[in-house]
Amino acid sequence: MSEAVVDTAGTSPLPGVAAGTWVIDPSHSWVGFSVRHLMSKVRGRFTEFTGEIVAGETLDASSVNVVIELSSVDTGNEMRDNHLRTKDFFDVEQTPKMTFASTAVRQTGDKWVLTGDLTILDITKAVDIEVEFLGVDPTGMQGEQRLGFEGTTSINRSEFGVSFGIATEGSKVFVGDKIDIQLEVEATLSE
C-alpha cells in the first residue's frame, strides 16, 4: 500500500499518511460552531461523535464519514442546550444524528477542500470544508500513528429546516441563519 494519499494525477500527496482507515479520536478532536445571537455570538460544540478517514491510494479512493450525536450539544448554558434539543432546533427525539459523508477532496494551493453531504433533520446538502492538513506523528502518544487536520465551513441553518428565531422582514434577529463550523481532528491509524 502507498505511504501517501495522492490524487488521480499523482500530484498532491499528503506526506506520511499511510493508506488505511484512520479513526477519529473524540478526546483529542473538536466539533464546534458559532452563531449570531442579538449583538454577540454564541459558541458551542458537540461532545459525542464518531468518524473515520479512509486514506486510499488515490484521493478518489479516499473518504471521510462522521456521525454527530445532536443531543451532545454544549453551549455552556443548560437551558439553551435543552432548547436546542427540541423541535424548534434539532428535534433529537426524531432525528438524533447529524452526518457527513465526503464525496470529493481537492487541493487548492496549500489548503484542501473536502466536499461532502451534510445531513441535518433528514435534509441533505452538499458543503465544502476548507481543510488544513497538520501532518502526521508516526509514533503518537502511545506508539500509534496519528494525523491532524483543522477545517472550517459555514452553512445556512434554514436550508436544513432549522428556522426558529430567524428574523422575518423588518424584525430583530434573535438567532442568525449563518452557522460557522470549526473542526479540529486527530485520528489514529486502525490496525
Residue with cell 443531543: 71
In whole angstroms, what is the distance from residue 74 CA to residue 157 CA? 17
pLDDT value of position 21? 94
Q: What is the 3-state secondary structure (H, E, C) of the chain?
A: CCCCECCCCCCCCECCCCCEEEEECHHHCEEEEEEEECCEEEEEEECCEEEEEEECCCHHHCEEEEEEEHHHEECCCHHHHHHHCCCCCCCCCCCCEEEEEEEEEEEECCEEEEEEEEEECCEEEEEEEEEEEEEEECCCCCCCCEEEEEEEEEEEHHHHCCCCCCCCCCCCCCEEEEEEEEEEEEEEECC
pLDDT value of position 189? 92
- CA 61 remoteness from chain centre: 20
pLDDT value of position 2? 33
Domain 20-189 in CATH 3.30.1600.10? The answer is no
So where are the chain's domains? Answer: 20-189
pLDDT value of position 169? 58
Per-residue pLDDT of the chain (191 residues; tens, 9 = 90+): 333 333 333 322 477 788 899 999 999 999 999 998 877 899 999 999 999 999 988 888 899 999 999 999 999 999 999 999 999 999 999 999 999 999 999 888 878 999 999 999 999 999 999 999 999 998 877 788 899 999 999 999 999 999 887 665 566 667 889 999 999 999 999 96
- Classify the C-alpha dihedral 174-42-124-89 as positive or negative: negative
139 CB neighbour count, 10 Å cutoff: 9
